[in-house]
C-alpha cells in the first residue's frame, strides 16, 4: 500500500504519528505506520512563508553556511558560521524550543493552534533565544565576565549550542553575544521552513532616556566615560520572510526579529517581529516594537565633554549618524549586500524626512500635533555642531591595516578653514571599546600643541605600538583613538576613530577530495605573529557533514614567530556542500 499525505497549508507544524485502523472479520485493530514532520513550506504558494525566488530559497532555507559581519563601519570584518539546520537531531531540538516557549503568549499549549502562524512561532523562538527566565537557549555575560562559561566569540556554529542546551536539560548555554544569538535563531527558523538571514547594523544606539538620541560622554583627556547610553559598534539581528496576516499582507516580506535582550523602557526584552518596510516608512503603530526598531536605525549621536561632575559641554564634531550601514550575506555569494535602503530612505531626502516626522510624532506624544518646522528646531538643538562651523576640519586616517602584534599607524589631518592663524592644544588618548560600546582601559595618552596658518593643511603622524595596546586588547579587538582640544582654548573640537585589530589567520588546506564515508585529511596551520609566547593555544574544528561534534586540539604554547601545523583526519558522513572551520583560542584572545 502506498500512502501519500498532503497536509493543508494552514496545518500546524510539528511531529505527527500516523496510525492505520484495520477492521476485518468483525475485529478492529490499529497499526502505527510511523511518524512524520510538518514544516512551513516556502515552495508552496498558499503558505504564509512562500518565497517565489528559487535562488533566495536556496540561500535563506537550504544553505547551512553563513557569514557574520563584525568590526566597525569603516573596517568591516567577517567570519564564517555553520547554521547546521539539517544536522541529525536539530529538528527535534527546534520543536522542543517551541514546547518550552509555548506559554509565552498563550498560557498553555493544549490546542497547538498557534503553530500554523509563522508570526507567533517567530515570537516564541525570539523569546526563547535569550529572554526566557529559566530555559533560554543562551545567556549574555554580565559586565563582560565570562569566566564561568565559554568565550562568546569562540563559537563557530549553532549546532553545538543547540545540542548543549538540549542535553543540559534546557538550561542556558554560557555565553553568547548578539551575533551568536541571531545565528542560532536563524538556524531554528530555517529548520522550521521559514526563510531567514542574519543582518548586521553598524553604529547601533542603546539609549534608555531618549529613544531618538544616544549620548557619549568624554573627559578632558578624551577618555570615553561609562554612561547610561551605549553606542554599539555593531549589532546583529535576524530577518525572517513571511506574510503578515495580522497586518493584512497577502505577500511575504522581511520581518525584523532581535533576540538580544535590550533595555526598552519596560525592562530588558527581545523585539519583533517588525515589518521592515514599516520601519522605513515610520509607520510605528502597525507593529510589534516598531518604535524601538525605528530608533535603532535613526537615532542622533550627541557627544559631551564633562568638565566636572555637573558641567557638560557639547563639542564640535562630525558625528556618524546611527544605522547608516546595514548589511547581510548576498544570495549565492561570499560578499555582503547593503540593505540600508530597505530600512531607511536616503539621508536628507524628502521621503526620509517625512518618515522621520511621522515616527517622531508617534514616539513623542507631546509632538503629535507639532509642525515639521517645530520638530526641526527641536532636532537642531540636540545635535552636535559640525567641525566646519568652528573653522577647523579634522580627520584621523589609517596608514595601515594592523594585525595582532603590529603597531597602529595613523595620519591626523588638520585643515584651517579661516584666513587667520589658529593655535590649539589637543589631548590625545586611546582606549579599548567592546563591540557593545562599553569603554574599557585607557592605555595611551599624549598632549600636543598645534599651530595652523591661514588655510593651512597639516598632517601629523601618530603611532600606537603593540607593546602599548597588546596587554589590554584581550577578546575585544576594537580601540578608540580620540583627539580633543583643551577647553581653555575656547571652542571644544573633537575627532575620533574606531580601529579594528585583525586576528591572525588560521589556514585550512584540504589534502584530499572529500567523499562520502571515505577518510579525508586536512592541514591546519597558524603562525604566532607576536614577539612573545602564546600560551594555552587550543584549536577548535567544526564542519557540517564532516564532524558530528567539534574537534578540539591542544597546541600548548607557541613560541614567538613559531609556525604550527597539524594534520587532522575526518570522514564525511552525509552529502552536501561542506566547509571546514578552524578557530584558535589562547591566553591573548
Which residues are catalytically annotated? 178, 235, 258
Cα 375 off chain centre by? 32
CA distance 399 to 409: 5
**Alpha-carbon Rg for the chain in angstroms:** 27
Q: Are 499 and 408 in contact (CB under 8 A)?
A: yes
Taking the CA atoms of residue 394, residue 228, residue 475 and residue 553 in that order, the dihedral angle to the nearest 10 degrees is -150
Strands 494-500 and 27-38: unpaired
**100 phi and psi angles, rounded to 5 deg:** -70, -30
- H-helix or E-strand spanning residue 277: helix 276-281
The DSSP code for 144 is G
Lookup: cell for 439: 569603554
Nearest to 507 by CA among 520, 522, 526, 521: 526
Number of alpha carbons in the 13 Å side-chain half-sphere of residue 88: 8
Q: Compute the 3-state secondary structure of the chain and give helix, strand, coil in percent, each to the nearest 5.
A: 25, 40, 40
Q: Are 321 and 74 in contact (CB under 8 A)?
A: no
- What is the DSSP annotation of 454-511? TT-EEEEEEEE-HHHHHHHHTT--EEEEEEEE-GGGSS-BEEEEEEEPBPPP-EEEES
- H-helix or E-strand spanning residue 540: strand 534-542
Amino acid at each position: 500500500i502506498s500512502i501519500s499525505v498532503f497536509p493543508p497549508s494552514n496545518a500546524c507544524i510539528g511531529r505527527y504519528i500516523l496510525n492505520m485502523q484495520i477492521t476485518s472479520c468483525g475485529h478492529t485493530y490499529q497499526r502505527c505506520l510511523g511518524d512524520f514532520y510538518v514544516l512551513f513550506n516556502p515552495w508552496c504558494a498558499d503558505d504564509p512563508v512562500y518565497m517565489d525566488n528559487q535562488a533566495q530559497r536556496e540561500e535563506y532555507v537550504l544553505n547551512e553556511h553563513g557569514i557574520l559581519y563584525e568590526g566597525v563601519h569603516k573596517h568591516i570584518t567577517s567570519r564564517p558560521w555553520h547554521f547546521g539546520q539539517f544536522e541529525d537531531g536539530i529538528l527535534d531540538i527546534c520543536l522542543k524550543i517551541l514546547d518550552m516557549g509555548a506559554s509565552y503568549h498563550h498560557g498553555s499549549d493544549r490546542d497547538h493552534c498557534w503553530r500554523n502562524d509563522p508570526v507567533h512561532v517567530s515570537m516564541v523562538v525570539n523569546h526563547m533565544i535569550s529572554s526566557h527566565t529559566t530555559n533560554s537557549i543562551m545567556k549574555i555575560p554580565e559586565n563582560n565576565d565570562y569566566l564561568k562559561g565559554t568565550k562568546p566569540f569562540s563559537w563557530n556554529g549553532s549546532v553545538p549550542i543547540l545540542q548543549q542546551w538540549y542535553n543540559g536539560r534546557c538550561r542556558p548555554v554560557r555565553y553568547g553575544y548578539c551575533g551568536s544569538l541571531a545565528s542560532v535563531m536563524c538556524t531554528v527558523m530555517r529548520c522550521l521552513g521559514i526563510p531567514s538571514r542574519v543582518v548586521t547594523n553598524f553604529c547601533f544606539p542603546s539609549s534608555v532616556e531618549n529613544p531618538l538620541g544616544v549620548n557619549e560622554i568624554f573627559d578632558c583627556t578624551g577618555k570615553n566615560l561609562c554612561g547610561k547610553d551605549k553606542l554599539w559598534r555593531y549589532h546583529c539581528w535576524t530577518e525572517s520572510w513571511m506574510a503578515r496576516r495580522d497586518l493584512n499582507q497577502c505577500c511575504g516580506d522581511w520581518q525584523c526579529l532581535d533576540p538580544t535582550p535590550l533595555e526598552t523602557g519596560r525592562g530588558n526584552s527581545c523585539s519583533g517581529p517588525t515589518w521592515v518596510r514599516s520601519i522605513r516608512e515610520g509607520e510605528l503603530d502597525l507593529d510589534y516594537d516598531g518604535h524601538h526598531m525605528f530608533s535603532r536605525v535613526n537615532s542622533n549621536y550627541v557627544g559631551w565633554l564633562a568638565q566636572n561632575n555637573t558641567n557638560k559641554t557639547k563639542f564640535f564634531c562630525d558625528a556618524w549618524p546611527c544605522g547608516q550601514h546595514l548589511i547581510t550575506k548576498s544570495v549565492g555569494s561570499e560578499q555582503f549586500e547593503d540593505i540600508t535602503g530597505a530600512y531607511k530612505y536616503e539621508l536628507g531626502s524628502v521621503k526620509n524626512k517625512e518618515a522621520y516626522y511621522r515616527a517622531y510624532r508617534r514616539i513623542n506624544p507631546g509632538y503629535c500635533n507639532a509642525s515639521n518646522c517645530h520638530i526641526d528646531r527641536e532636532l537642531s538643538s540636540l545635535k552636535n555642531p559640525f567641525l566646519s562651523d568652528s573653522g577647523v576640519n579634522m580627520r584621523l586616517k589609517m596608514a595601515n591595516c594592523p594585525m595582532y602584534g603590529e603597531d597602529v599607524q595613523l595620519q591626523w589631518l588638520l585643515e584651517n578653514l579661516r584666513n587667520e592663524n589658529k593655535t590649539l592644544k589637543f589631548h590625545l588618548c586611546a582606549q579599548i571599546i567592546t563591540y557593545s560600546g562599553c569603554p574599557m582601559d585607557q592605555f595611551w595618552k599624549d598632549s600636543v600643541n598645534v599651530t595652523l596658518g591661514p588655510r593651512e593643511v597639516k598632517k601629523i603622524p601618530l603611532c600606537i605600538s603593540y607593546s602599548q595596546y597588546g596587554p589590554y586588547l584581550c577578546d575585544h579587538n576594537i580601540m578608540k583613538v580620540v583627539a580633543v582640544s583643551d577647553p581653555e582654548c575656547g571652542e571644544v573640537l573633537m575627532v575620533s576613530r574606531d580601529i579594528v585589530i585583525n586576528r591572525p589567520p588560521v589556514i585550512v588546506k584540504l589534502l584530499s577530495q572529500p567523499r562520502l564515508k571515505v577518510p579525508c585529511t586536512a592541514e591546519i596551520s597558524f603562525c604566532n605573529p607576536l614577539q612573545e609566547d602564546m600560551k594555552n593555544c587550543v584549536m577548535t574544528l567544526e564542519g557540517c557533514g564532516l564532524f558530528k561534534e567539534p574537534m578540539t586540539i591542544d597546541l600548548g604554547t607557541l613560541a614567538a614567530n613559531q609556525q604550527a601545523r597539524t594534520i587532522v583526519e575526518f570522514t564525511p558522513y552525509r552529502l552536501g556542500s561542506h566547509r571546514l572551520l578552524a578557530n584558535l583560542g589562547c591566553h591573548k584572545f
